[in-house]
């Protein structure tokens, strides 16, 4: 390798290590940002659509569908209100609804423990429901699900880990969905089980019997039979076409929200933000290419004498052109490697935040086409940005740039 154009290019990059690193880092920022924006968008959209905890829809009080889904499935946002607990019985009397609904699980919210939501529900959620195809909730280690009338709690894996809860621990819930010190209820709950990780929003929840929320000390007595929403598993998703107008257009009491379309529309709302991030990434990419060009152009100008010396030693013009292109491609290649490191840092941080806020786990290492075309694009950009400096090298006049004439 010694003596080749590649070797000379490598030596030159070493000689200008600082400039090389600056250009490579610029490329890495652009590439890493592009890959992060793209992957997070795709993965978040796909994963959120999959993280429905096995439910197809939510039935709740009259409100926005998005608020209802975020509150009931993802345990985010404020509760839009309550509906009477007798609703379930009324619905079951309606033959079309009875046929369409496979399972209905009530939930009630309104309290938290140090920022982690308490969700009241029935043990059917654990014993009969599948949160994903063929997967039911499982207890990690020893423990048992709560009894309907006891002050017992089952903690999701993430909540238990963050709060340091284990079976047998007791805690006093705080009022409201956000943690405010000094708002503790008098009720004392005992942890009876910790759930296995499901990588769904359920991991961030502390589940208690629905009666627990309804009758919690300090809650309104007139609402003691109300529920926040019903989580609905349909026999067939085709029923959505019938149920949506029935509840949302003909009826005025409830909102029926089909989870996947609601979440798709939610992500579509962020389209403009993604576009801006992508635009920023493209601009950074162009700036990075410009910096390679400027750096190499300056190097070539500084090195006219060295180029002339190499020519005097017999280097051909095309050898020098290759040398410059190798340098620009080398900088781009270094940038590509760094861009993956940058991507891992940015995407992991974002994924961690998403996990902490929603319980949803993104698979950042799933293959995406962008992992090919961004590096390829950056290498092409590297070659292109080396062209002008290569022309400088090509056109360097040997005689004029060698030692001063005697």
Partner 1 sequence: MEKGEQVALQGDSGSGKTTFLHLLSGILQPDQGTIFLNGEDITMLGEAERDRLRATSIGYIFQTFNLLQGFTCLENVLLGMSFGPGADETRAKELLDRVGLSDRFHHHPRQLSIGQQQRVAVARALANKPSLVLADEPTGNLDPENTHLAIDLMRELCSENDAGLLLVSHDVKVVESLPRKEVWDDMNVLLSKGKQK
Interface residues with partner 1 (CB under 8 A) are 2-4, 8, 11-12, 14-15, 305-306, 309-317, 319, 398-399, 402-403, 405-406
CB of 361 to partner 1, least distance (A): 49
For partner 1, the closer of residues 30 and 323 by Cβ is: 323
For partner 1, the closer of residues 266 and 394 by Cβ is: 394
CB of 328 to partner 1, least distance (A): 17
The answer to whether the beta carbons of residues 137 and 198 sit under 8 Å apart is yes
> Whose CA is closest to 219, among 61, 106, 122, 108?
108
For partner 1, the closer of residues 57 and 321 by Cβ is: 321
- Strand-strand pairing, 57-61 and 229-234: antiparallel
For partner 1, the closer of residues 8 and 119 by Cβ is: 8
Answer left, alpha or beta for residue 234, where phi above 0 means left and psi between -120 and 50 means alpha: beta
The answer to whether the beta carbons of residues 394 and 321 sit under 8 Å apart is yes
Whose tokens are 């359920």? That residue is 202
The answer to whether the beta carbons of residues 334 and 22 sit under 8 Å apart is no
For partner 1, the closer of residues 12 and 122 by Cβ is: 12
CB of 314 to partner 1, least distance (A): 2
CB of 48 to partner 1, least distance (A): 53
Burial level of 268, CB count in 10 A (0-12/13-18/19+)?
exposed
CB of 309 to partner 1, least distance (A): 5
CB of 319 to partner 1, least distance (A): 7
CB of 383 to partner 1, least distance (A): 23
For partner 1, the closer of residues 90 and 312 by Cβ is: 312
Q: How many helices (H) and strands (E) does the chain have?
A: 16, 12
Quick one: tokens of 58? Answer: 């939510």
For partner 1, the closer of residues 89 and 313 by Cβ is: 313
> Whose CA is closest to 237, among 221, 266, 267, 259?
259
The answer to whether the beta carbons of residues 328 and 24 sit under 8 Å apart is no
DSSP sequence for 190-235: EEEEEBPP-SSGGGG-EEEEHHHHHT-TTS-GGGTT-BSEEEEEES
């Amino acid at each position: 390798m010694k003596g080749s154009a590649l070797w000379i290019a490598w030596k030159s990059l070493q000689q200008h290590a600082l400039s090389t690193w600056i250009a490579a880092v610029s490329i890495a920022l652009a590439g890493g940002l592009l890959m992060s924006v793209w992957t997070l968008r795709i993965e978040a959209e796909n994963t959120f659509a999959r993280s429905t905890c096995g439910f197809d829809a939510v039935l709740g009080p009259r409100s926005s569908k998005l608020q209802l889904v975020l509150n009931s499935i993802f345990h985010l946002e404020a509760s839009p209100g309550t509906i009477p607990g007798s609703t379930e019985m009324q619905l079951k009397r309606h033959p079309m609804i009875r046929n369409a609904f496979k399972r209905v699980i009530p939930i009630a919210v309104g309290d938290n423990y140090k920022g982690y939501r308490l969700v009241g529900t029935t043990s059917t959620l654990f014993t009969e429901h599948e949160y994903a195809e063929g997967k039911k909730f499982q207890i990690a280690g020893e423990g048992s699900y709560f009894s309907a009338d006891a002050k017992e709690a089952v903690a999701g894996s993430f909540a238990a880990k963050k709060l340091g809860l284990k079976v047998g621990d007791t805690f006093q819930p705080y009022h409201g969905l956000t943690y405010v010190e000094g708002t503790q209820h008098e009720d004392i709950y005992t942890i009876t089980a910790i759930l296995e990780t499901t990588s769904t929003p359920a991991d961030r929840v502390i589940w208690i019997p629905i009666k627990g929320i309804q009758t919690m000390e300090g809650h309104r007595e007139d609402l003691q039979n109300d529920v926040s929403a019903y989580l609905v598993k349909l026999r067939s998703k085709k029923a959505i076409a019938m149920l949506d107008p029935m509840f949302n257009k003909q009826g005025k009491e409830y909102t029926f929200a089909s989870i996947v379309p609601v979440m798709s529309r939610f992500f579509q709302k962020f389209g403009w933000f993604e576009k801006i991030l992508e635009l920023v990434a493209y601009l950074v990419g162009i700036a990075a290419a410009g910096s390679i060009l400027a750096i190499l152009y300056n190097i070539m100008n500084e090195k006219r004498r060295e180029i002339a010396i190499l020519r005097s030693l017999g280097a051909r013009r095309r050898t020098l052109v290759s040398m410059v292109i190798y340098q620009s491609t080398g900088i781009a290649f270094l940038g590509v490697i760094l861009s993956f490191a940058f991507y891992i840092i940015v995407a992991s941080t974002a994924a961690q935040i998403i996990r902490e806020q929603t319980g949803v786990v993104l698979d950042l290492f799933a293959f995406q086409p962008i992992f090919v075309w961004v590096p390829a694009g950056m290498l092409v950009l590297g070659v292109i940005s080396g062209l002008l400096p290569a022309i400088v090298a090509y056109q360097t006049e040997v005689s004029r740039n060698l030692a001063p004439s005697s």
